Amino acid sequence: MSTAEPILLTPGPLTTSSRTRQAMMVDWGSWDDRFNQLTASLCEQLLTIINGGDSHHCVPLQGSGTFAVEAAIGTLVPRDGKVLVLINGAYGKRLAKICEVLGRSFSTFETAEDEPTTAADVDRLLRADTSITHVALIHCETSTGILNPLAEIAHVIEQHGKRLIIDAMSSFGALPIDARDVPFDALIAASGKCLEGVPGMGFVFARKEALANAAGNSHSLAMDLFDQHTYMAKTGQWRFTPPTHVVAALHEALLQYNEEGGLPARYQRYANNCQVLLDDMAKLGLRSFLPAAIQAPIIVTFHAPKDPRYQFKEFYERVKAKGFILYPGKLTQVETFRVGSIGHLNQAEMRAAVAAVAEVLREMEVLDI
């Protein structure tokens, strides 16, 4: 491992395979039939992962995951709608900020960063405010790695006759979500996460009826999912210049995803990575922030060492010099750092990463082992 090509222990961008990177070496014409077929195949394969072909459209969108989240809120929530935003981390807060900027009425319900939202919470909130039309939920909150109980919450929302918008950015492709069992108007993900593509494309699984009724809702030309889908269905083309190399890389990554065994195999590899990470870091005396029951095998938040000689910036640079890039903590109350367990990695890379962490902490005289 050279320092020029570090392993990314982050929740996206992440380490990709050589095949995925190689797929970006070809230039594509954005109106070319072969590229249009690539896009269509991509959307079909993505819908298959959630068993959503009968009920949902897959609408791709240029940009990062947040672009797609904003597009989903702006397109699917009517201008006179109201969103209940469930928050237990930074990305839930970002959802609320999107509603604020878009001028959508919203309320928030916030729990501690190590406390999942419950279906009982949502039931109580929807009973108390019948003006709510939509509920927005982060499935796996990347700021900690906490997993919220999606299926239970989704069924409560359906019982109240409300609509669910799911930010599944860090879970889609690794944690099971079945559109036949979990009712939702939108599920949002992106190319550079558990599918192990590169960043640059988001996509929204929009319920067909909801999307059909969304004309005129959007605040934006570029982020109008109704218009994007209508144009693509009619022409097979993207409305505006597509991220051609990103699409090609994701198509190749999906081929590898299916070769590996699809979602069950991807989940198991990540779960194995995560367990090695938790076990080996515990041997160094580094404690995870979340209890195991609510820890998703995507990214782990660790309490930073209390030794005054520990400084994250130095720690980060030293670990990077050994070939691994970590993530800073995103909590406000306690000092932490984060280590991802996703990407084109296996248990050997996770053990090597922890060994690098141990070596750095010894060099910094934070650990005496």
* pLDDT tens column, 130-143: 999 999 999 999 98
Both 64 and 148 in one domain: the answer is: yes
pLDDT value at residue 117: 96
When divided into structural domains, the chain yields a total of 2
Q: Is residue 369 part of a domain?
A: no
Q: How far is CA 204 from CA 20, 63, 151, 184, in A?
A: 22, 12, 18, 11
- 163 and 308 co-located in one domain: no
**Same domain, residue pair 273 and 130:** no
DSSP string for 189-208: EETTSTT---SSEEEEEEEH
Identify whether the C-beta of residue 89 lies closer than 8 Å to the C-beta of residue 143: yes
Rounded mean pLDDT, 217-236: 97
3-state SS class at 335: coil
Whether residue 319 is predicted with pLDDT greater than 90 in this model: the reply is yes
Residue 61 Rama label (left phi>0; alpha psi -120 to 50; beta): beta
State the pLDDT at residue 203. 98
- Quote the pLDDT of residue 2: 42
- Whole-Å CA distances, 270 to 194, 197, 237, 267, 368: 9, 16, 35, 5, 30
Report residue 303: phi and psi, to 5°.
-65, 135
Structural domain contains residue 296 = yes
- Final residue belonging to a domain, choices 234, 258, 282: 258
On whether residue 368 sits in a domain, the answer given is no
pLDDT of res. 331:
76
The predicted model scores a pTM of 0.95
Domain end marker among 224, 258, 292: 258
Residue 3's pLDDT band (boundaries 50, 70, 90)? very low
**Whole-number percent of the chain with pLDDT over 70:** 98
Instruction: Give the list of residues 6+ apart from residue 255 with CB closer than 8 angstroms, or none.
Output: none
Binding residue positions for substrate: 338
φ/ψ of residue 27, rounded to 5: -90, 140
Same domain for 59 and 31, yes or no, is yes
Question: pLDDT-based confidence at 1, cuts 50/70/90?
Answer: very low
Q: Are residues 198 and 331 in the same domain?
A: no
CB 255 within 8 A of CB 46: no
Query: Is the same domain home to 70 and 154?
Result: yes
244-260 and 262-283 helices, crossing angle to 10°: 90
Q: State whether 41 and 169 are in the same domain.
A: yes
Q: How far is CA 144 from CA 118, 140, 248, 301, 352, in A?
A: 17, 9, 31, 5, 22
The string of pLDDT tens digits covering residues 170-190 is: 999 999 999 999 999 999 999
Which of 1-5, 151-155, 193-197, 235-239 comes out lowest in average pLDDT? 1-5
CA-CA distance, 324 to 44, in Å (whole number)? Answer: 35
- C-alpha to C-alpha distance for 316 and 324, rounded to whole angstroms: 9
Closest CA to 350 of 297, 310, 308: 297
Domain enclosing residue 177, as ranges: 18-258
In a domain, 336, yes or no: yes
Q: Is residue 1 part of a domain?
A: no
Nearest-angstrom CA–CA distance, 175 and 150: 11
Whether 144 and 223 share a structural domain: yes
Same domain, 210 and 350: no
pLDDT (0 to 100) of residue 222: 97
Q: Identify which of 35, 79, 56 has the alpha carbon closest to the alpha carbon of residue 251.
A: 35
- Domain assignment of residue 175, yes or no: yes
- Give a yes or no: residue 106 inside a domain: yes
Same-domain check for residues 108 and 243: yes
Whether 35 has a pLDDT exceeding 90, the answer reads yes
Verify that 276 and 355 share a domain, yes or no: yes
The angle at the Cα of 290, spanning 272 to 299, to the nearest 5 degrees, equals 45
271 and 292 in a single domain? The answer is yes
Q: What is the pLDDT of residues 68-106, one digit of tens each?
A: 999 999 999 999 999 999 999 999 999 999 999 999 999
pLDDT given at position 334: 85
> Mean pLDDT of all residues in the chain?
95
Among 187, 135, 137, residue whose Cα is nearest residue 158: 135
CATH number for 278: 3.90.1150.10
Q: What is the CATH number of the domain that holds 24?
A: 3.40.640.10
- Annotated binding-site residue numbers: 338
User: Based on the number of CB atoms within 10 Å of its own CB, is 218 exposed (0-12), middle (13-18) or buried (19 or more)?
Assistant: buried
Q: Give me the mean pLDDT over the 200-210 stretch.
A: 98
pLDDT band at 369 (very low <50, low <70, confident <90, very high): low
pLDDT at residue 368, rounded to an integer: 65
> Residue 122 pLDDT > 90, yes or no?
yes
Q: What percent of the chain shows pLDDT beyond 90?
A: 94
Residue 317: what pLDDT? Answer: 96
Task: With respect to residue 2, please indicate whether it lies within any of the assigned structural domains.
Answer: no
Which tens digit of pLDDT belongs to each residue from 344-361? 999 999 999 999 999 999
Last residue of a domain, one of 211, 235, 258: 258
